[in-house]
Amino acid sequence: MKLLKKIIKISVFSLIIGLTLGLAVYGYGQVSVKLEIKSANNISLYDQSGNVFFQGNGTSKWATLDDISPYVINATIATEDKNFYKHFGFDFLRIIKAGYTNILAGKTKQGASTISQQYVKNLFLDFDKTWERKWNELWLTLNVEMHYSKDEILEGYLNTINYGHGMYGIENAASYYFNKSAKDLSLAEATMLVGIPKSPSNYSPIVNFDLAKSRQQLVLSNMVRNKYITEEEKNKALSEELHVIGKKSTIDSDTLLYFQDAVLDELKTIKSIPSSFLDTGGLKIYTTLDMNAQMSLEKAIKENLNGREELQTAGIMINPIDGSIIALVGGRDYAISQFNRATKSKRQVGSTMKPFLYYAALENGFTSSTSFTSEETTFVFSGEKTYSPQNANQIYGHKAISLATAIAYSENIYAVKTHMFLGEEILPNIAKRLGITSDLPAIPSLPLGTSEINIIEMASAYSVFANNGYKTTPHLITKIEDVDGNVLYEFKETPELVLNPSLSFILSELLTTTYDSTFIDYNYPTIINLAGRLSKKYAVKSGTTATDGWTIGYNPEVVTAVWIGFDDNKEIDSSMYSISKNIWADSMEVFLKDHEEVWFDIPSNVVGVLVDPISGLLATKDTPKKKILYYLKGTEPSSSEQMVFDEMLDN
């Protein structure tokens, strides 16, 4: 009896709560402002020239329900929300069932979002992942249900959902995957597409056809269960051979979507947008993309990775003056892998770390002629610990060589001697000043690039050298407007002087030695093979580890950084060492083909002196090879006498 009374009380209380909520919902529906769903979250991305290269909800190809195959409509309802036409935005029985299933499984195994809820998320809630978003989702879903018919909601959903590879909307997806209109999709094609949105990176037939096929089978089974098709039609669709095209009808690029994803990631970090986003009715995002730079980088990657299917790459091009990223590639082909290695990965940087060390050396009294002996060396540090690095191919000069020669050959012994001479804390500190945020331990091997750093960090740090010592913030978004042209955000920054401009000039000149034939002696400059292909003057440094190949170089106009390697950290072989160099050279040369050659002005306190390039000694009439190296006035060599720092290092 007591139990019965308790059940009655709970039921009455629940009824009162339900009626109260119902009245609140009805009242909200009457007073709430109707949301404009067809323009909301219509994200358009523009390149530097003002050309649209992406539209977030595909409204340029908006398809009415009459223009969409019934197979798509029925498959979507059967798979995503079978009670769509019966509920008012929330399927409570499904919520209870999903909750029960997830409790038993001990994890989130089943979702309960309706098409209306998913549509609201697509339109308005891409930015925040909080309980506040859940609350907003509730009221926004109610608003949409109150003000729009079910057909209007379904139509909007099908035109904004993500079908993978940057394809938003069923019309865009039908064109991309099957080169046809959404109304002409067969049952097999429709169910393949309907299976994608649950996980576009997994269920795309381009990424994993077998997984996409198993997902299609589930969609077809849902249609049978909900009596949209027969078992016979299901089997026929499963056996139909699909011809997946996977190409855009606009810009034919295998890598542009990496840039697009990076822009949308940066958008999420701009705090001023989420709070006002619901009122904007759409966004126009102006980016730093230079389509010529992007296609130059992509072309170079395609040509140089041809035949090496597992090898991956990342590359970016930055305008050093303002930090704008004008090209970004996160992998060899977005259709194969959507993982953006340019923004999300860190790799060992090898000898591309050395310019940071050598700038610090110049700042601490070194000159272009400062000498150490090139010979096998064991370093003792932290008491009795030892470190015995080796030069590439174990090539040593067994004589004193200049800083310029050490850079040309990428001498490991010289680098570690410099590092130990200056003190192990100097290099991490200078890297931090240049904008490197990755953790860099103060260890003897640091100048050889044993730490992992992101490619954008590296390119941005080199940009400081290319910008005469001024540091800027790497970025992809310059301005954001609403659909009415009101500016919601604009990138503004004052460059910060963090390096001595005169020393930056000297370092840039030293980085031209890497392809200079006057440095051919007991060894060869590291990228001497590129010398005949470079039509302009560049500062450039390459670097390799057992698993990574890097090349980073610049002139006053652009900094380009290229990485190659395997995602699983498999070792690269010697035949791959030249790939990053070739990609770098080809992309720079193609991009700058019609540009006049530019270089840095010589600072007034810097002087050029003719020297023997290998030793750094002042040249005489009998010196066989001569090279102009640069020095701060008063530090240039004035006689044939030479100070070798080895003895000072030992002390």
* Catalytic residue set: 80, 351
Instruction: Print the domain residue range for 527.
Output: 297-648
Residue 506 counted as domain residue: yes
Q: Is residue 23 part of a domain?
A: no
Residue 20 covered by a domain: no
Angle 261-267-269 from CA coordinates, rounded to 5°:
115
Task: Clarify whether residues 491 and 615 are in a common domain.
Answer: yes
pTM for this predicted structure: 0.77
Instruction: Check residue 384 and give its pLDDT.
Output: 80
Q: Is residue 485 part of a domain?
A: yes
> pLDDT below 50 — which residues of the chain?
13-15, 17-19, 21-22, 58-60, 98, 100, 102, 107-110, 125-133, 249, 275-276, 278-280
Query: Residue 303 sits in a domain of what CATH number?
Result: 3.40.710.10
In a domain, 405, yes or no: yes
Counting the structural domains of the chain, the total is 2
523 and 644 housed in the same domain: yes
> 162 and 59, same structural domain?
yes
246 and 319 belong to one structural domain: no
Q: What's the residue count for the chain?
A: 651
**DSSP label at residue 65:** G
The CA distance from 518 to 524, in Å, is 10
Is residue 173 within 8 A of residue 205, CB to CB? The reply is no
Query: Is 617 a domain residue?
Result: yes
Count the neighbouring beta carbons within 10 Å of the beta carbon of residue 233.
Answer: 16
On whether the CB atoms of residues 504 and 310 are closer than 8 A, the answer is: no
Residues 207 and 301 both lie in one domain: no
The predicted pLDDT at position 408 comes to: 98
* 575 and 492 share one domain: yes
* Residue finishing a domain among 216, 236, 252: 252
383 and 449 together in one domain: yes
Q: Are residues 196 and 82 in the same domain?
A: yes
What pLDDT shows up at residue 278?
Answer: 45
Q: Domain with 108 in it: what CATH number?
A: 1.10.3810.10
What are the Cα distances from residue 213, in Å, to 164, 217, 239? 15, 6, 10
Predicted pLDDT at 137: 61
Are the beta carbons of 180 and 242 closer than 8 angstroms? no
User: Of 612, 599, 269, 329, nearest to 466 (Cα)?
Assistant: 599
Same domain flag for 380 and 455: yes
159 within some domain: yes
Percent of the chain clearing pLDDT 90 (strictly above): 63
Q: In this predicted structure, what is the pLDDT of residue 159?
A: 87
Q: What is the pLDDT of residue 109?
A: 45
